[in-house]
A and B are shown apart, each in its own frame.
Chain A
Amino acid sequence: MRYSYFPGCSMESTAKSYRLATEYVMGRIGVELVEIEDWNCCGATSAHTLSAAMGLALPARPLAMAELREPGLDIVTGCASCYARLRLSMHKARSDKAAKYLIENVIAMPYEAKREVYSFLDVLSGEEAAAAIKAKVTRRLTGLKAACYYGCLNVRPAEVTGAPDRENPMAMDRIVGLTGAEAVDWAFKTECCGAAHQNDAASVSRPLVWRILKNAQANGAEAVVTACPMCSLNLEMRQGGYRKHTGLPSMPVFSVLELLAVAMGASARQIALEAHHVPAAKALAAALRRSGGGVAI
């Protein structure tokens, strides 16, 4: 299992625990991530808002570089927003000749879109990876009730992502299940968290986060699990108002990779759990205690 890897800007900064957990888990289960040389930002929401050409070209450049350097490898990214932008460029280059021409002119190199763009969820839910995970889980997170949050961009739009179920996806739930934790059934798996507008329209975007957290808690979740550093950051960092507005306790937010890492034996320090805005280690420690291991994390 070898992939060209597009980390995305958040992985380099705010998603410190996510990054460390990714390195830990992928190493353990034998997924080799070949970081795309000199990758650039995918442009996120701003680039395509300003210009269609920029929105298509920014993600296409690292894809084209990956295909040039490692023509045999598919591309993987751990960020839902990057995933959506990369996949859209791939999709457009394949299906729309004019778009392909535009992209190649702007990035000044050929881009054939021969390789697929995958998310971590795609990779981890593959048969081989799932078997490897099962083999490497050494301590179970028994009874940890987690709400898997996929976000919008991992699943929509369907013709770009190819996701079979956009309302109640299950890939992450199954991965979480491998750690011994319990993925709860809840209703906001793919509702928008408003990350794109938390800077410029904060007052309307904050309640979106709160609604997601509230539904997770209403369905018995003790933690939210994500597959995206942007989702994680947004759901975690904007909890201040949540406590005030709902009177509910704050909610730890992990990436699915962190959960896997802990289940595979990583210590809190190894994956920098202390870096979370909302204290995260406690919930995991409690789950480990329940499993009877009594191992400190």
Chain B
Amino acid sequence: MSRIGVFVCHCGTNIASVVDPDRLTPAAREMPGVVYAADYRYMCSEPGQQMIKDSISEHGIDRIVIASCSPRMHETTFRKMLKGTSINPYMLEIANIREQCSWVHADKGRATEKAIGLVRMAVSKVSKNEPLYAQSIPITKRALVIGGGIAGIQAALDIADAGHEVVLLEREPSIGGKMAMLDKTFPTLDCSACISTPKMVDVGAHPNIRLMTYCEVESVSGYIGSFEVAIRQKARYVNHDICTGCGLCETKCPVKVDSEFNLGLSKRPAIYKLFPQAVPSKPVIDSESCRMLKDGKCGICAKLCPLGCIDYKDEARTVTESFGAIIMATGYQLVDWAAMYGEYGGGRYRDIISGLQFERTVNAAGPTEGHILRPSDGREPETVVIVKCVGSRDPKKGKSYCSRACCMYAAKHAHQILEKLPGSRVFIFYIDVRTPGKGYEEFYDQTRMDGAVYVRGRISKIYEEDGGLVCQGEDSLLGSQVRVRADMVILETAMEPSQGIEGLTSMLGAARDANNWIQEAHPKLRPVETQVGGVFLAGTCQGPKDIPDTVSQASAAAAKVIGLLNKSEMETSPMISAVERDKCSGCGACVGICPYKAITLQEIDDRLGAKRIKREVASVNSGLCQGCGACTAACRTGALDLLGFRNGQILEEVDALCL
């Protein structure tokens, strides 16, 4: 028989002025199993806690009920208090007689009756409580950052600076991401490369960072504190241990294919560095275009290399590494507008380029060395039309969301054109201009004063005629149809999650939202966490954002990881699901219902009569289970139960109320 102590708090007059302790405490004393009941002005105060502790030893109490404010307020306080006593911190229930009784009811008699009911429910429940022990899981003090764009770079540097080891993984041959492709950044117009390449160099040189470029995640297992990640190092065909990055090989390679970095605006050889400032500054061979690897004929680079770095027999390797935390920084890509917008020529007109292609064009290190020239004939455009929201805010053909950064970089592009090509004209077709950011509205104002003509309306059709591009739309402020003959058109296209996001998130068990961005744990209060413990978010993999927001989020995610890695082990809540193996039929209904992939079917040895058999039963991973209890309601045989909220405990509560 349990020995229950009930402690009624007055909370000054907050409770006592409505709920009568002189009725409640004696009533509690009469409840089954209660050996002691007392009331006090402030139970949570030092003397109040001392009184409880004294009573426990004095009356041989083995579990307690505290009738007070909401458990959301002081459950943790009282659990901590119990740590110093003979009883387990989980042998505690709280009856919420303040927020859900004295504060919401006026009739003293009826409120006291209800309080008695609430205490009875708690007493009945606590009679079924059992000691629970928090498990501690060791934390591997090492973080994996997936994606080497500015988000991944920032997060890796912050974690590494705090003294923890980081692996920065990038699937391209170099880190740098989209920011490395940009020319200038709004609204300050500082050169993108000037601010991002030093960070790339820092990453390459940081003693705590291991760079793994040209690598992909193959599989992930484990949970917060101890993830096991299999990483596939793609074949580079160049021995990076001895290569000095002299670049001789690149100059003589006979192959020319479209440059990914310059988005098809220039060519690159088959042995290549992604861009001149690449980190690591060593080339790889693209096996799909290399003549030696395809046909076995060529081998020029191997002959040229003074150090013998070229290895045509190189193969992909998979290594498995352990991490305590993972940051997703997989970024975005631009939508394939040509496949969506036949009315804009569907990609048939060379002088219609994307915003990112314009960045390469206007970049001094780009294919035109920073001269704004149209791709078709290399002429300077006199009139440029910029079209915003291409693929954004278009639920029918593209994405329903706003891509957030386009308004600003459209203004930046206009500014750059007007600055570099005096006498040129720029028309920006827009639906709304959105400039919520520090210095953004001012930048937009400046662009208008520079002479950019903002036309409110979505372009309906763009066609080529007599060597120009006719952009047809409505000037909706004027209410009339307009046609602008342009020499070049820039489409500011929507962002979408990087290709491969589905596979990666399902390996991790992280959820994606309706648009395939990775879902944050809470949009306001946990914006850089996923609902999977130990997996964090940085940058545009969570949704479209600009560089300042990306970098802030990356640092926030890094802070979360640092907090985690600073501990050597982590206590997990013991209030998680437990399986009674004998009852489990192995139906697997719980496996699919678990949002955390915490339940798996495991083969065990069993007996059927005298026969030894093997059968499958559910098994809960305590590192992954978050204690929601969805599995327990789905369990057909009642084999699964939630510790701390067992079926038996809740049924006791129900019964107690209905007495």
Which A residues contact B (CB, under 8 angstroms)?
165-168, 185, 187-188, 214-215, 218-219
Contact = CB atoms under 8 A, between A and B. Distances in A.
B463 interface: yes
B343 interface: yes
A31 B464 CA distance: 38
Contacts of B466: 218
B465 A166 contact: no
Nearest to B466: A218
A187 B345 contact: yes
A166 B397 CA distance: 13
B348 A167 contact: no
Nearest to A190: B342
Interface string B315-352: 00000000000000000000000000011011010000
Contacts of B461: 187
Contacts of B346: 167-168
Contacts of A165: 342
A211 B346 CA distance: 21
Nearest to B470: A187
A219 B348 CA distance: 13
A188 B346 CA distance: 14
A165 B343 CA distance: 10
Interface string B453-476: 000000001011110000000000
A209 to B, nearest CB: 16
Report the 5 A-B pairs with minimum CB-CB distance, sorted nearest first.
A167-B342, A187-B463, A218-B465, A167-B343, A168-B342
Nearest to A191: B461
A113 B466 CA distance: 47
Interface of B: 342-343, 345-346, 348, 461, 463-466
A205 to B, nearest CB: 15
A111 B200 CA distance: 71
Contacts of A215: 463, 465
A188 B466 CA distance: 14
A187 B464 contact: yes
Contacts of B343: 167
B482 to A, nearest CB: 15
A218 B345 CA distance: 16
Contacts of A214: 465
Nearest to A165: B342
7 contacts: A165-B342, A167-B342, A185-B348, A187-B463, A214-B465, A218-B465, A218-B466
B463 A188 contact: yes
Nearest to B343: A167
A188 B345 CA distance: 11
Nearest to B463: A187
- Residue among B346, B461, B463 having the largest count of chain A Cβ atoms under 10 Å: B463
A265 B635 CA distance: 78
A208 B657 CA distance: 79
Nearest to A214: B465
Contacts of A188: 463
A215 B470 CA distance: 11
Contact of A166 (B342, B345, B348, B463): B342
Given A166-B342, A167-B342, A215-B465, 5 more contacts: A167-B346, A168-B346, A168-B348, A185-B348, A215-B463
A146 to B, nearest CB: 18
A185 B463 CA distance: 11
A17 to B, nearest CB: 29
Contacts of B463: 187-188, 215
A172 to B, nearest CB: 16
Nearest to A215: B465
Contacts of A168: 342, 346, 348
Contacts of A219: 464-465
A123 B170 CA distance: 51
A55 B465 CA distance: 38
A214 to B, nearest CB: 7
Contacts of A218: 465-466
Nearest to B468: A218
A187 B342 contact: no
Contacts of B464: 187, 219
Most B CB atoms within 10 A — which of A165, A166, A167? A167
B605 to A, nearest CB: 59
B106 to A, nearest CB: 58
Nearest to A169: B342
Contacts of A166: 342
A218 B464 CA distance: 9
A167 B461 CA distance: 10
Question: Which of A165, A166, A187 gathers the greatest number of chain B CB atoms within 10 Å?
Answer: A187
A185 B346 CA distance: 12
